[in-house]
Chains A and B, each alone.
Chain A
């Protein structure tokens, strides 16, 4: 069963910031929040991950709510190349045995970027 909820689709204008939301109300204390994206006709690629604190890297920022029941992936300036499906995934960081260590991909959010 999917443990995260994301909007099916979002639109953005080029060079504007994009905030992609993810709800995970049943998150456990050891669940890490991962974001992957999949460009058209390609395999997924890792974007960012976090546990409790906000995180920044060269691709994006991850803002995690204080109660950890939701998070937001922030693309600071969307480009046409950012048009992709974005997946928010929970993964148990305390146990990688069996199915608990698997990445479970839902349907994600399809981001369209307009020039």
Chain B
């Protein structure tokens, strides 16, 4: 099993450009999450999807949109990138929203200039 995969690994955008970060899991998990991590900080939740067909805001949702494409895939879209969105983005999944263990992907390092 690959676990949680994310693409791309690295991305550089100019201010105002848009892009979509892709995430997929092969563990048949119901719940998926997007986090961001700024230098020297812990992770902050952007959006989550408790189950296929549902999405909810996390702690820092402004400037982002998400799509739960199917049970496996959960994408994060930046419509108009800003330098403040320079960060490392992690996708995670868990069997259920109530599960004690979340499995994290390797991250996408995004720089907005």
Task: Assess the A99–B90 pair: CB atoms within 8 A.
Answer: no
Are B59 and A43 neighbours in the complex by a CB distance under 8 Å?
A: no
Interface residues of B (CB under 8 A from A): 4, 35, 40-45, 48, 56, 58-59, 90, 92, 97-98, 100-107
How many A-B pairs have beta carbons closer than 8 Å: the answer is 53
- Evaluate contact between B107 and A42: CB separation under 8 angstroms: yes
Structural contact, B100 and A42, CB atoms closer than 8 A: no
List of B residues within 8 angstroms of A96 by Cβ: 97-98
Q: Inside 8 A of A42's CB, which chain B residues have their CB?
A: 104, 106-107
Q: Check if B59 sits within 8 Å of A105, measured CB to CB.
A: no
Which of chain A's residues have a CB closer than 8 A to the CB of B100? Answer: 32, 34, 46, 49, 91
Contact B42 A99 (CB under 8 A): no
- The verdict on A103 contacting chain B, using a C-beta distance below 8 Å, is yes
CB-nearest residue of chain A relative to B90? Answer: A43
* CB contact list, A67-103 vs B, under 8 A: 87, 91, 93, 96, 98-99, 101-103
Given contacts A43-B90, A96-B98, contact A103 B45 (CB under 8 A): yes
Distance, CA A57 to CA B4, complexed state (A) = 23
Question: In the complex the two chains form, what is the Cα distance from A101 to B100 in whole Å?
Answer: 10
CB distance from A28 to the nearest CB of B (A): 17
CB<8 Å pairs between A and B, sample of 29 = A32-B100, A34-B100, A41-B107, A42-B106, A43-B90, A43-B104, A43-B105, A43-B106, A43-B107, A44-B43, A44-B90, A44-B104, A46-B100, A46-B101, A93-B98, A96-B97, A96-B98, A98-B56, A101-B98, A102-B45, A102-B58, A103-B43, A103-B45, A103-B102, A105-B35, A105-B42, A105-B43, A107-B42, A108-B42
Tell me the bound Cα distance from A73 to B100 in angstroms.
17
Tell me which residues across on chain B come within 8 A of A101, comparing CB atoms.
97-98
- Contact flags (1/0) for A8-42 with B, using CB distance below 8 Å? 00000000000000000000000010100000011
